[in-house]
Chain A
Amino acid sequence: MAEEILRIEDLHVSVEGTPILNGMDLVINRGEVHVIMGRNGAGKSTLASVVMGHPAYEITQGSIYFKGQNLDELSVFERARAGIFLSFQYPAVIPGVQVGTFLKKSVQSVRDEPLKGRAFRKELNTAMGALEMQKGVLSRYVNDGFSGGEKKRLEILQMLLLQPQLALLDETDSGLDIDALRIVAKGINQVAPTAGCLIITHYQRLLDHVHPDFVHVMIDGTIVRSGGPELAHKLEDQGYDWLETSPEGTA
Chain B
Amino acid sequence: MSDDAREAVGDYQFGFHDPEHSTIRFDKGLSEQVVRDISELKNEPEWMTEIRVKAYHHFMEREMPDWGNCGSLHEINFDNVTYFLRSSNATENDWEDVPEDIKNTFNRLGIPEAEQKWLGGVTAQYESEAVYHSIREDLESQGVLFLDMDSGLKTHPEIVKKYFGSVVPHTDNKFSALNTAVWSGGSFIYVPKGVHVTMPVQAYFRINAKNMGQFERTLIIADEDSSIHYVEGCTAPTYSTDSLHSAVVELIAMKGAKIRYSTIQNWSANVFNLVTKRGVAHENATIEWVDGNIGSKLTMKYPAVLLKGEGAHAEVISVAYAGKGQHQDAGAKVHHLAPNTTSNILSKSISKNGGRSSYRGMLQVTPKAHGCRSKIVCDALILDSDSRSDTYPTMEVGNSTADLEHEASVSKVSGDQLFYLMSRGFSEEEAMGLIVNGFFEPFTRELPMEYAVELNKLLELEMEGSIG
**A residues within 8 Å of B by Cβ?**
49, 52, 54-56, 75-77, 79-81, 85-86, 88, 90-97, 102, 105-107, 109-110, 141-142, 158, 162
Instruction: Tell me the minimal C-beta distance from B319 to chain A in angstroms.
Output: 11
A77 contacts which of B414, B416, B427, B434 (Cβ < 8 Å)? B427
Chain B residues lying within 8 Å of A81, measured Cβ to Cβ, are 425
By Cβ-Cβ distance, the 9 closest A-B pairs, closest first, are: A96-B438, A96-B441, A109-B425, A92-B420, A97-B438, A110-B425, A76-B422, A106-B424, A80-B425
B8-29: contact bitstring with A at CB < 8 Å (1 yes, 0 no)? 0000000000000000000000
Instruction: Among B424, B434, B441, B442, find the residue whose CB has the most chain A CB atoms closer than 10 A.
Output: B424
A–B Cβ pairs within 8 angstroms, 16 of them: A49-B419, A56-B415, A76-B419, A77-B425, A77-B428, A77-B430, A79-B423, A91-B420, A92-B414, A93-B417, A96-B438, A97-B434, A107-B425, A109-B425, A142-B438, A162-B424
Instruction: Tell me the minimal C-beta distance from B440 to chain A in angstroms.
Output: 7
- CB <8 Å contact, A109 and B419: no
Q: Which residue of A lies closest to B441 (CB)?
A: A96
- CB <8 Å contact, B416 and A92: yes
Q: Which residue of B lies closest to A108 (CB)?
A: B425
A158 contacts which of B422, B424, B428, B434 (Cβ < 8 Å)? B424
- CB <8 Å contact, A96 and B424: no
B423 contacts which of A86, A90, A102 (Cβ < 8 Å)? A86
**A96/B442 contact (C-beta < 8 A), A77-B426, A105-B434, A106-B425 known:** yes
Instruction: Tell me the minimal C-beta distance from B378 to chain A in angstroms.
Output: 15
- CB <8 Å contact, B430 and A76: no
In Å, the complex CA distance between A95 and B439 comes to: 6
In Å, the complex CA distance between A49 and B416 comes to: 11
In Å, the complex CA distance between A91 and B435 comes to: 15
* B36-80 CB contacts (< 8 Å) to partner A: none
Instruction: Among B415, B428, B434, B439, find the residue whose CB has the most chain A CB atoms closer than 10 A.
Output: B434
Q: Which residue of B lies closest to A158 (CB)?
A: B424
Instruction: Tell me the minimal C-beta distance from B152 to chain A in angstroms.
Output: 39
**A97/B424 contact (C-beta < 8 A), A102-B434, A109-B430 known:** no
Chain B residues lying within 8 Å of A96, measured Cβ to Cβ, are 437-442
Q: Which residue of B lies closest to A79 (CB)?
A: B423
Q: Which residue of B lies closest to A142 (CB)?
A: B438
Given A96-B439, A102-B434, A142-B438, 9 further pairs, Cβ under 8 A: A52-B423, A56-B415, A77-B425, A79-B423, A80-B424, A88-B423, A92-B417, A96-B437, A105-B426
